[in-house]
Amino acid sequence: MSDTPNADTRALVIGGTQGLGLAIAERLRAEGCSHLVLAGRDPDRGAAAARALGAEFMAADLVDTAGIVALVDRAAHSMGRIDALVNAAASTDRGSILDTTPEAWDRMMTVNARSPFFAIQRVAQLAREGGHGASIVNILSMSAHCGQPFLAPYSASKAALSNITRNAANALRGDRIRVNGINCGWMDTPGEDAIQRKYHGGGDDWLAKAEAKQPFGMLVKPAQVARLAAFMLSPVSGVMTGALVDFDQNVAGAYQQ
């Protein structure tokens, strides 16, 4: 396999300024990605990440769906085209079936499903207009299978994105646009660190305690998932489309003896 399978890739990574999104951007660059736009909410963090990768940063907030569509247009104009899209940004706000408000539900669905849907739509429209194929990777969650009680709207939004992934893959394959997704398990990211401290009383040792209880002695690491995402985006993955890969050390639907 070539060391530069993404050599001709022009990629937009939404949520590419930290955590898994940044790891994917780093992997794409390592594999020769020729043009790279990172999108996120934090201008300072985004500018720093873009400088480190020789990429371009564009501010974007998934709460604003129209702004996400405009982001796709700006990125395509800047790079000449978009042939790789990563939807890596998400909200993980808490809420159960008993206490989630309609406002919280609407926000979660907008950030985690509605805006990614229209980002995919716009990338596909531009690719068709330009007469070229494209590859899209959506970052999902094992919670799409069910999820914990305190992640009710989050789990529902990821289940929606799961269907969006397969539906889009089916609809767009005639245009040589591939759409795949990764269901990530519990992952060691800056975002997860903040969540553990904010919602679960985690101290400085929360990660060590959590990893000690895992089958493989660790949480999922962003660099591990990034390799799979980069593979899915590259021509090396061939005709692969509509795939939803569980990237976790727990098996969905399995039970202990």
**Region of residue 239 (phi > 0: left; psi between -120 and 50: alpha; otherwise: beta):** alpha
- Note whether residue 85 is domain-resident: yes
- Which residues neighbour 153 within 8 Å (Cβ) at sequence distance 6 or greater? 93, 95, 100, 104, 105, 108, 109
In whole angstroms, what is the distance from residue 118 CA to residue 104 CA? Answer: 20
Is 212 a member of any domain?
no
Q: Is residue 253 part of a domain?
A: no
Q: How many helices (H) and strands (E) does the chain have?
A: 9, 7
Q: How many distinct structural domains can be found in the chain?
A: 1
**Residue 239 located in a structural domain:** yes
Q: Tell me whether residue 166 is in a domain.
A: yes
Q: What is the pTM of this model?
A: 0.96
The kind and range of the H/E element at 141 are strand 134-141
Q: Could you say which DSSP state residue 62 is in?
A: T
Q: Of how many residues is the chain composed?
A: 257
Radius of gyration for the chain, computed over Cα atoms and rounded to the nearest angstrom: 18
CA dist., res. 90 & res. 246, Å (int): 18
Please check whether residue 97 lies inside any domain of the structure: yes
CATH code, domain with 133: 3.40.50.720
Domain membership flag for residue 128: yes
Q: What is the pLDDT along the chain (257 residues), one digit of tens a residue?
A: 578 999 999 999 999 999 999 999 999 999 999 999 999 999 999 999 999 999 999 999 999 999 999 999 999 999 999 999 999 999 999 999 999 999 999 999 999 999 999 999 999 999 999 999 999 999 999 999 999 999 999 999 999 999 999 999 999 999 999 999 999 999 999 999 999 999 999 999 999 999 999 999 999 999 999 999 999 999 999 999 999 999 999 999 998 87
**Is position 197 within any domain?**
no
> Which residues are 27's β-sheet partners?
none
Residue-number span of the structural domain to which 72 is assigned: 10-185+220-245
